[in-house]
Amino acid sequence: MNYEDNIPNLSRKNIHRLRIYIRRRKALSDLIQRTLFSIKSFDQLFVIIVAIVIGIAAGYIAAGFRSMISFFQVHLWHSGNLVEGIKATPVYLRLLIPSVGGMIVAIFVHRLAPEAKGHGVPEVMDAVATKNGFIRMRVVLVKAVASALSIGSGGSVGREGPIVQIGSAFGSTIGQLFQVSARRMRTFVGCGAAAGIAATFNAPIAGAIFASEIILGDFSVSSIAPIMISSVMGTVISHSIYGDYPAFVPPIYELQAPIELVFYVILGIAAGLVGWLFVRALYFTEDLFDNMKLPVGAKAIMGGVVLGLLAVTVPEVLGVGYETMDLVLAGEITMAFAVILLFAKILATVITLGSGGSGGIFAPSLFIGSMLGSTLGKVFHGIFPNVTASSGAYALVGMASVVAAATNAPITGIVIIFEMTTEYSVILPLIISSIIATVITGRVLEGTIYTIKLLRRGVNIHGGKDINILKQLSVARIKRHLVETIDESLPVEELLARMTSSEHSIFYACDANGHLTGIITQGAIRRFVNRFEEIPIGTKVADISNTHFPSITDDTPMDQVLRIMSEMDMEVLPVLDEEGKVTGQVLRSDILREYQELLLQDQTAGTIASSIKFVHQYFHEKSEVIPGFMLARINVPSPFVNFSVHALDLRNKYNIDVLLIRQNTEKGYKDIIPTPSVIMKPEDQILIFGRRENVEAVCDMT
């Protein structure tokens, strides 16, 4: 099929013009490709240039996002100050606006980009750990609109999480454009995240540390250098638009006496407990809404009603909350009201995110910490006025401490508060409280506010990508069903006879009901025979079997299987069902072989996915990659649908190779390397390669 076939009744002159247009477009594509890759050949210069571009773009994206929030806020609440606008709005609109806004956000995200739901940072961390940094470009638009509307309509979330995801998606898109390596791709994702944070908080160092400490977990020079460049450029853009001003006006602080550090230790302990409460409340609420058998829009309306009730009683907890934080830093909020705002903010934030809203948890953590610090500061100052600072100083330290507790990132918490306030004198209390808060949550939580969501999906960020690949294996997938079982009551002589003719080295002794009672290996038999010149009369299989053995089930995680094998020094483990009957066995060699194949497939899929993305951007659906051979991206032809790769036998029947299958899942497209067992679905796309005439023939089948 060619382009003329798609436009019938063309004159010969118009067909000639069309051919010229196609050739020129192909030449332009080739020129773009050569230009891009000539820049890429100068590796260090290439990385620096891209880091600068990402930083500048993320800075403007952050500014555009803030403008979008203001647009929704002004048009919904008719005020540039959210709290004042809510107070001036009739009660029925306070209930209606968060409900309708939340419903629109939930449906919009659910249909266009489910990964844009929530606070965004876990999705970026997941992309770095398991997808080589690949993030869909549509996330930029969906996340920006959804989060801006969520915040503008009164959602109790922050703008830094969306900015991180948006900036990371832009960095990932740049990496896909240039087909960079997986390591470079992750670095560019970190560049986007750092620049977004830096532009949002006017904190270039904190932005770089956030990306390195939380997103990448990598402080190597090759990663931190371009991330710092992007972070600085994002800050420069922010300065050019908003001026060089600190995000918060800090209180005048001076350490009154060394004994005052004891009070900051107490604040750190309290921040750790409040951070634990915040994380637990968030995931409890998300589970609560996820378990409701209701449409996403209905869940969002329920959450919006709760936010509306809070808007009627304590409107200060809605939105980002910077205005209220300025008041508490200045000591203008009473202790009783600070306590109310602390718990109301936790409720508002978990309801917003749990019901389907979109936004970050960084600003809510700052808000919660400021209220906690202010409350304790007033208590300490009221009892010991001569040795303690004002409540505003404790509010400032509380902000960093709760951030550190929730994210398990004390360096980020310390530096970001320092840069946001430019107040160096408070650095010692910041360090003490933040470290103590982090230690407490590290002991009582199985992860952080970011990583718990990933751990529930089976993704271990700290375990590395290889561990996450291992989690894709299952016992049911790799177990061998053919095993040798023998009745435990049979004489040993019969066992010996069976072993001489069997290919297996392990036998499983079972009782009359088929339950596994022991394991016999050839080594154990040899040791038994060597002990006696003649086998004692009446010796049964049960007498020589090992009754102390580990076992696994089809649902046992593969990392646990390997741990058992390592601890027990075993090469084989029996697989039992719920009744204790043997259903198969798992060999260590099979696990390692499958693991190596998965690792190779994952790396290859990442490379090919990057290539197919480049084909989408710069080439036609069919492109001649070398003379006489073509690469084509097509929808699965109808004759291929519901057949496995093995059954189709495309190489022999059609003389083509399928390099990649792009599956359409609930979470978006997923690129996989075709294996014989993969079934092709109607909504899938395939990347095929072969001689021109063979590829054209398959393309004509679609």
CATH classification at residue 221? 1.10.3080.10
Residues 323 and 376 in one domain: yes
Give the CATH number of the domain where residue 631 resides. 3.30.70.1450
Kindly report the number of other CB atoms within 10 A of residue 168's CB atom.
Answer: 36
pLDDT the model gives residue 614: 43
Residues 17 and 102 in one domain: no
What confidence tens digit (pLDDT) does each residue in 434-469 have? 999 999 998 888 888 888 887 776 666 655 445 556
pLDDT at residue 275 is higher than 60: yes
Q: With contact defined as beta carbons under 8 Å apart, do 190 and 212 qualify?
A: yes
Q: With contact defined as beta carbons under 8 Å apart, do 209 and 407 qualify?
A: no
What confidence tens digit (pLDDT) does each residue in 650-680 have? 878 888 888 778 887 766 667 777 777 788 8
Of 198, 217, 242, the position where a domain reaches its end is: 242
pLDDT the model gives residue 613: 46
Write b or e for each residue in 631-649: b if 16 or more Cβ atoms lie within 10 A of its Cβ, otherwise e: bbbbbbbeebeeeebeebe
DSSP per position, 226-286: HHHHHHHHHHHHHHHHH-S--SS-PPP-----GGGHHHHHHHHHHHHHHHHHHHHHHHHHH
From residue 624, alpha-carbon distances to 17, 99, 112, 696 in Å are 21, 53, 33, 11
pTM exceeding the 0.75 threshold for the entire prediction: no
- 582 located within any domain: yes
Q: What one-character DSSP code corresponds to residue 586?
A: E
Q: Which of 120, 133, 23 is nearest to 607 (CA)?
A: 133
> Which helix (H) or strand (E) segment is 192 a member of?
helix 182-201
pLDDT the model gives residue 3: 40
Check residues 18 and 82 and name the one with the higher pLDDT: 82
Residues 641 and 662 in one domain: yes
- 625 located within any domain: yes
Residues 45 and 27 in one domain: no
- Domain span at residue 460 reads 258-295+311-466
User: Mean pLDDT, the chain, as a whole number?
Assistant: 81
Q: Which two tokens stand for residue 197?
A: 């944070």
Residues 266 and 363 in one domain: yes
Backbone angles phi, psi at 330, to 5 degrees: -85, 0
pLDDT at residue 605 is higher than 60: no
Q: With contact defined as beta carbons under 8 Å apart, do 449 and 559 qualify?
A: no
d(C-alpha 178, C-alpha 185), whole Å: 10
Burial of 555 by CB count in 10 Å (0-12 exposed, 13-18 middle, 19+ buried)? exposed
Residues 26 and 76 in one domain: no
Of 546, 570, 587, the position where a domain reaches its end is: 587
Angle, to 10 degrees, between the axis of helix 522-531 and the axis of helix 492-501?
Answer: 130
What confidence tens digit (pLDDT) does each residue in 64-76 have? 998 999 999 988 8
Residue type, 576: L
| Section 377-400 average pLDDT | 89
Contacts of 275 (CB under 8 A, 6+ apart): 365, 401, 402, 404, 405, 406, 437, 440, 441
How many residues belong to the chain?
Answer: 702
SS3 assignment for 498-557: HHHHCCCCEEEEECCCCEEEEEEEHHHHHHHHHHCCCCCCCCEHHHHCECCCCCECCCCC
Residues 436 and 497 in one domain: no
Q: Which two tokens stand for residue 201?
A: 């908080």
> Which helix (H) or strand (E) segment is 646 a member of?
helix 645-648
From residue 593, alpha-carbon distances to 129, 293, 295, 313, 470 in Å are 22, 41, 43, 61, 11
Check residues 117 and 286 and name the one with the higher pLDDT: 286
Kindly report the number of other CB atoms within 10 A of residue 546's CB atom.
Answer: 11
Kindly report the number of other CB atoms within 10 A of residue 374's CB atom.
Answer: 33
Residues 155 and 79 in one domain: yes
- 232 located within any domain: yes
Q: With contact defined as beta carbons under 8 Å apart, do 244 and 202 qualify?
A: yes
pLDDT at residue 524 is higher than 50: yes
- Quote the number of domains for the chain: 5
Q: What one-character DSSP code corresponds to residue 657?
A: E
Residues 393 and 330 in one domain: yes
pLDDT at residue 226 is higher than 50: yes
- 539 located within any domain: yes
Kindly report the number of other CB atoms within 10 A of residue 563's CB atom.
Answer: 11
Contacts of 680 (CB under 8 A, 6+ apart): 636, 640, 641, 642, 643, 644, 645, 648, 661, 686
Q: What whole-number percentage of the chain has pLDDT above 90?
A: 20
Q: With contact defined as beta carbons under 8 Å apart, do 333 and 374 qualify?
A: yes
Q: Which of 365-369, 499-503, 542-546, 570-574 has the lowest mean pLDDT?
A: 499-503
Burial of 269 by CB count in 10 Å (0-12 exposed, 13-18 middle, 19+ buried)? middle
Q: Which of 256, 264, 248, 184 is nearest to 216 (CA)?
A: 184
DSSP per position, 324-387: HHHHHHTT-S-HHHHHHHHHHHHHHHHHHHHTT-B-BSHHHHHHHHHHHHHHHHHHHHHH-TTS
| Section 394-405 average pLDDT | 92
What confidence tens digit (pLDDT) does each residue in 241-269 have? 888 777 677 776 667 778 888 999 999 99
pLDDT at residue 377 is higher than 60: yes
Check residues 335 and 647 and name the one with the higher pLDDT: 335
- 516 located within any domain: yes
- 550 located within any domain: yes
Residues 235 and 340 in one domain: no
Beta pairing partners, 508: 485, 519
> Which helix (H) or strand (E) segment is 402 a member of?
helix 391-407
- 504 located within any domain: yes
Residues 272 and 180 in one domain: no
d(C-alpha 20, C-alpha 638), whole Å: 33
pLDDT the model gives residue 622: 64
Burial of 42 by CB count in 10 Å (0-12 exposed, 13-18 middle, 19+ buried)? exposed
pLDDT the model gives residue 499: 79
- 595 located within any domain: no
Residues 529 and 546 in one domain: yes
